[in-house]
């Protein structure tokens, strides 16, 4: 069975898992349900957005319980209104984050109003210390995405004149980021003052995500402006980070940008590391640079070998690979969505169902859940309206069209409206055991949570165009002109050798964008290509004592098992 995909399709390979089957999406009942849920999500978005515009704009984020605001992106958030700098007009982070969602919802009027306001009022020439990672994914990414949407004639979002104002703002912000990269290692400081650069005695500690998840936004900025400095800085930091990996291809959580030494050795797919994996794969999709794929493939195999325990992923020491913390973190819920892009649908489905089981158990997803004790972490009981589970649900529905994922989305919408909706917007949950609320509506609720839920029920925005979504949910269209051109004689070392007639070709399931289990040449049905889901057996000679010592088959993505005579293989029948 084959599943050919458009050459630049976002969803690189759609596998049909043995645990479910594709159902005809044209069913009238399903379509009616999707329309009803789409409108409910639309109402959610505008309830959050309108309250932000009424009570918090132009400041960063809304406090829905008190109907006030917070400037949470920078240290300005710790100052009272009368103590704000006289030149501060607000950075309107939630507005920036909402523009791409407004475009997806088809609200060209509000989109254009937002673009005009930002063009006339937003400035980054302020004495404010901001988190580089957060400012990059929220503000720089939001501006770049909105600019690309504004200039796309298919969207028709701007009725008046648009002269690249958002791109100029993005370029100004990108230039203010560059001093953060002036370190002996090339790894950027976690914090930067937008007016004065790196502050004296600034902390040198940062996270793997913080310095390894900048290349999508800064790479896109270089492609749009022709200034290579942004992409070069982000890529240099990413390569330096990769050089610091352990011999197991694992990276720690925090490090020192001056000395290049690791501070926290525990490695995971969760907080502090998560978007590092995400940006390796998505940078490969967006820019076509083979280096990104090589790094991702190695890192992905290591994660499968050292973190995966059935459907769960624990943390492990980066040097030894031994488990450190057996816990689920809500940020890990992005992982099934990433696995969809790789084509590892069976594993994605398995993990996603466990995340949703925890959601059903508590009504929402707690920040940390201790797997070894089956209880919530005592100090991390909160749910800040995070989008990751909705994101993975969207990807899995796109890959399978299984209506069960629509039921998951419906359940999430009901929970959000039941537990977090207040008259002033949507409030974070302070304690999922009591559903006590916290006075904060994060900008990512509009940028991601509502967006992915809407796209789950109405995918018309992505149906005929190819996008990748940044870690903050901002769409960037995949275009061939941004792809690195390779010479005809180039062969990737990652590809699998196969013979075809008198000549040899190299190809992979990812490069050819087909399902791993299929034959690519009907005359040679034995020829199959290796998928990124491949996990080798622990022993080279394939000997084993238990199933834990067996990996994942390279061509079928099926789990290998240990036979009665002690050898790994595909012993279980389909």
Alpha carbon of residue 334 to chain centroid: 6
What string of DSSP letters covers 353-403? HHHHHHHHHHSS--SEEETTTTEE-TT---B----HHHHHHHHHHHHH--T
Pairwise CA distance, residues 405 & 30, whole Å: 11
Please state the φ and ψ torsions of residue 382, each to the nearest 5 degrees: -90, 160
Pairwise CA distance, residues 110 & 93, whole Å: 16
Pairwise CA distance, residues 409 & 242, whole Å: 36
- The tokens for 49 are 């957005």
274 catalytic residue (yes or no): yes
Of residues 274, 402, 410, 530, which has the active-site annotation?
Answer: 274
388 catalytic residue (yes or no): yes
- The tokens for 50 are 């309108």
Whether 552 and 304 have beta carbons less than 8 Å apart is answered as yes
Whether 150 and 162 have beta carbons less than 8 Å apart is answered as yes
Pairwise CA distance, residues 232 & 306, whole Å: 31
484 catalytic residue (yes or no): no
Interhelix angle 165-177/141-151, rounded to 10 degrees, is: 160
Whether 366 and 421 have beta carbons less than 8 Å apart is answered as no
What string of DSSP letters covers 390-404? HHHHHHHHHHH--TH
Of residues 71, 388, 391, 439, which has the active-site annotation?
Answer: 388
The H-or-E segment that residue 326 falls in is none
Pairwise CA distance, residues 189 & 256, whole Å: 9
Query: Which residue do the tokens 């099926």 mark?
Result: 558
Q: How far apart are the first and last CA of the chain?
A: 15
Of residues 367, 439, 530, 537, which has the active-site annotation?
Answer: 367
Q: Which residues of 397-426 are buried (b: 16+ CB within 10 A; e: fewer)?
A: bbbbbbbbbbebbbebbebbeebbbeebbb
Query: Which residue do the tokens 């005359």 mark?
Result: 523
61 catalytic residue (yes or no): no
**Of 359, 357, 358, 335, which is closest to residue 347 (Cα–Cα)?**
335
Inter-CA distances, 286 with 17, 119, 466, Å: 27, 27, 10
Whether 111 and 103 have beta carbons less than 8 Å apart is answered as yes
Of residues 60, 71, 134, 458, which has the active-site annotation?
Answer: 134
**Of 11, 46, 40, which is closest to residue 446 (Cα–Cα)?**
46
- The tokens for 48 are 């959050």
Pairwise CA distance, residues 568 & 551, whole Å: 8
DSSP strands (E only) in 138-229: 191-193, 205-207
Pairwise CA distance, residues 57 & 49, whole Å: 10
Flag whether 94 is marked binding.
Answer: no
- What single-letter DSSP state applies at residue 448? I
Whether 105 and 49 have beta carbons less than 8 Å apart is answered as no
Binding residue ranges for Ca(2+)? 471
Binding residue ranges? 471
Catalytic residues: 134, 274, 367, 388
């Amino acid at each position: 069975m084959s599943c050919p995909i458009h050459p630049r399709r976002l969803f690189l390979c759609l596998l049909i898992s043995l645990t479910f089957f594709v159902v005809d999406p044209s069913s009238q009942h399903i379509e009616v349900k999707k329309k009803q849920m789409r409108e409910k999500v639309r109402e959610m978005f505008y309830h959050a957005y309108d309250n932000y515009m009424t009570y918090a704009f132009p400041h960063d984020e809304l406090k829905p319980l008190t109907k006030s605001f917070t400037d949470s992106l920078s240290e300005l958030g710790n100052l009272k209104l009368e103590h704000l700098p006289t030149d501060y007009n607000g950075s309107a982070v939630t507005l920036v984050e909402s523009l791409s969602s407004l475009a997806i919802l088809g609200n060209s009027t509000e989109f254009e109003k937002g673009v005009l306001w930002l063009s006339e009022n937003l400035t980054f020439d302020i004495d404010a210390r901001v988190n580089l990672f957060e400012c990059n994914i929220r503000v720089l990414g939001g501006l770049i995405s909105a600019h690309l949407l504004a200039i796309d004639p298919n969207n028709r979002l701007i009725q008046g004149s648009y002269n690249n104002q958002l791109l100029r703002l993005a370029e100004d912000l990108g230039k203010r980021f560059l001093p953060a990269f002036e370190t002996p290692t090339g790894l950027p400081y976690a914090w930067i003052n937008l007016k004065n650069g790196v502050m004296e005695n600034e902390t040198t500690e940062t996270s793997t995500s913080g310095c390894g998840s900048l290349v999508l936004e800064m790479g896109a900025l270089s492609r749009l402006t022709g200034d290579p400095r942004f992409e070069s800085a982000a890529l240099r930091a990413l390569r330096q980070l990769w050089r610091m990996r352990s011999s197991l291809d694992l990276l720690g959580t925090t490090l020192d940008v001056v000395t290049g030494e690791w501070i926290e050795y525990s490695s995971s797919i969760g907080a502090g590391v998560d978007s590092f994996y995400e940006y390796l794969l998505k940078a490969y999709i967006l820019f076509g640079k083979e280096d990104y794929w090589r790094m991702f493939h190695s890192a992905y195999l290591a994660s499968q070998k050292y973190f995966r325990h059935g459907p769960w992923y624990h943390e492990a020491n980066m040097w030894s690979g031994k488990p450190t913390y057996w816990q689920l973190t809500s940020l890990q819920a992005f992982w099934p969505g990433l696995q969809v892009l790789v084509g590892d649908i069976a594993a994605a489905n398995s993990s996603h169902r466990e995340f949703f089981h925890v959601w059903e158990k508590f009504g929402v997803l707690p920040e940390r859940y201790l797997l070894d004790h089956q209880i919530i972490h005592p100090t991390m009981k909160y749910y800040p309206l995070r989008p990751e589970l909705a994101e993975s649900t969207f990807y899995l529905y796109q890959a399978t069209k299984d209506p069960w994922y629509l039921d998951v989305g419906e359940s999430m919408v009901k929970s959000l409206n039941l537990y977090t909706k207040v008259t002033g917007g949507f409030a974070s949950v302070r304690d999922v055991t009591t559903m006590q609320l916290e006075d904060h509506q994060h900008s990512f609720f509009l940028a991601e949570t509502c967006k992915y839920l809407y796209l789950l029920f109405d995918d018309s925005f992505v149906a005929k165009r190819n996008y990748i979504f940044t870690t903050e949910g901002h769409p960037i269209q995949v275009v061939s002109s941004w792809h690195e051109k390779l010479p005809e004689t180039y062969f990737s070392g990652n590809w699998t050798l196969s013979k075809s007639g008198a000549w040899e070709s190299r190809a992979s399931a990812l490069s050819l964008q087909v399902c791993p289990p299929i034959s690519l040449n009907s005359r040679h049905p034995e020829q199959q290509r290796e998928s990124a889901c491949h996990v080798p057996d622990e022993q080279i000679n394939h000997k084993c004592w238990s199933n834990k010592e067996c990996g994942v088959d390279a061509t079928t993505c099926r789990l290998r098992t240990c036979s009665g005579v002690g050898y790994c293989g595909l012993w279980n029948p389909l």
